[in-house]
Amino acid sequence: MAFGPDFSWLKRFFPRGLYGRAALILFLPVVTVTLVVSVMFLQRHFDGVTRQMTASMARELGFVAARVEQAVNAPAALLAGQAVAVPLGLSVDLPAAPNIDDDRIFYDFSGRVVIEELRHTLPQVMGIDLASDEKRVRITMNGPFGPYLLSFDRSRVSASNPHQLLVLMLFTSLLMSGIATIFLRNQLRPIKRLARAAEEYGKGRVVPYRAVGATEVRSAGTAFLDMRNRLERSNEQRKLMLSGISHDLRTPLTRLRLGLSMLSPDLPTDQPEIDAMTADVDEMSRMVGAFLDYSRDEAQEGPPVATEALPFLRGLVADAQRAGQKVRLAGVEGPEDGRVTFRPDMLRRAIENLIGNAVRYGDHAEVDAALAPRSLRISVEDDGPGIPELQMDEAMRPFTRLDPSRNQNRGQGVGLGLSIAADVARAHGGQLRLVRGVRLGGLRAEIVIPR
């Protein structure tokens, strides 16, 4: 239930595009400030100037009125008034038609100040006409010999209209608005490119895109590229997984089919044949389990939680030792209660795969860790034959077996251990690095993730 007035109808009058809204945010304050300055400051300024000029003019009019009132008759009053008014730039008409109304044009804002100031200063004023002639001020005065008329130029009581200032303000505003529009378009262009790249990728097309623009836009572009690369890598690995399944299962299935074709209902089954077929079934079960583990890692289930990293690693190594693996914790660096945010199940599976590979291709393995203020590094090193430096990138691809460098007779792997560890590290914003071990001389795998 909604309370208060509903202003949703206002949305129809606002632009829907980002460019239009940004322009509105930019130009609306400029227009508002210009109007406020023009109406408040300029109007008050010119009202004050007009009031000062009118007060000075009222003293001259009062001097003329005093000379008229001191005359003995109407002709003498006219001559006395003209003798003073003409040198002051005034004109006197006596007698004059009586006028008791004030008249000005509706947009003549300074005329209001002129009328107000003259009536306040001169009690003899009967009416002030500012509308008959915009360039003249006509004042009907009440004298001892009847009404008389005083007139003078309007410029003597009103400051000239600020046309130059207004034109300058308008020109400057338009110029600055044009420059701001150019900068605004340059800032919005990377956002449009990002939106186009995301839209095209949603349609299954990959268009070239480079993260440029402001820091926030560049950060969003980098995040999009990381997401797109991760999805592309996931699609590629899914294709590799399907091809790996078809390739790796073909051999045991062929052996199993051949063994079944050689069975005869009339002859007893040999135990060696049964053992061979059972081994084939176990091998296929192991391969399917490895594929399922890999797919589960790709799903990245479970939210990250803040975990004490070093106790987590000690427990993991202890579990591996209880399972009979020859692995030991070589050393740890950092605070014991230091916490790192990660997915415990995924990181455990990655390290278990690294330990499994290490003890499979070597006699024993060592694990060490370093907890820095900004990152966590976990290393697993073995004393096996290692991997040639030129093949280390290839070794992290799924379903890759490097037979010349890693003796596969030591274990039955399907080429997913390093790939799972690399994907887990990337899922946490880190990386997996493979280098030559210094202490044991074999392969050293390092997982580095940010805290």
- Domain ranges in the chain are 18-163, 215-300, 303-402+413-450
Does 391 or 219 have the greater pLDDT score?
219
Q: Are 140 and 85 in contact (CB under 8 A)?
A: no
Pick the CATH number of 303-402+413-450 from 3.30.2130.10, 3.30.565.10, 3.40.190.10, 3.40.50.1820: 3.30.565.10
Predicted pLDDT of residue 297: 53
Which of 26-30, 76-80, 168-172 shows the highest mean pLDDT? Answer: 76-80
Residues 310-318: what's their mean pLDDT?
Answer: 90
Q: How far apart are CA 71 and CA 78, in angstroms?
A: 9
Query: What is the torsion angle, in degrees rounded to the nearest 10, for the CA atoms of residue 238, residue 241, residue 247 and residue 252?
Result: -140
Q: What is the pLDDT of residue 149?
A: 93
Domain spanning 215-300, CATH class: mainly alpha
Q: Is residue 446 scored above 90 in pLDDT?
A: yes
What confidence category does residue 152 fall into, taking pLDDT thresholds of 50, 70 and 90? very high
| Fold match flag (18-163 vs 303-402+413-450) | no
Please enumerate, as own/partner, the contacts of 298-305 that have beta carbons within 8 Å and a separation of 24 or more.
298/234, 298/237, 298/238, 298/423, 300/343, 300/346, 300/427, 301/345, 302/343, 302/344, 302/345, 302/346, 303/343, 304/341, 304/342, 304/343, 304/428, 305/341, 305/342, 305/343, 305/344
CATH 3.30.450, domain 18-163, yes or no: yes
Tens-digit pLDDT profile for residues 81-105: 999 999 999 999 988 888 778 888 8
* Distance, CA of 371 to CA of 209 (rounded, Å): 36
What's the pLDDT band for 406 if we cut at 50, 70, 90?
Answer: very low
**273-286 average pLDDT score:** 71
Determine which of 52-66, 289-303, 391-405 has the lowest per-residue pLDDT on average: 289-303
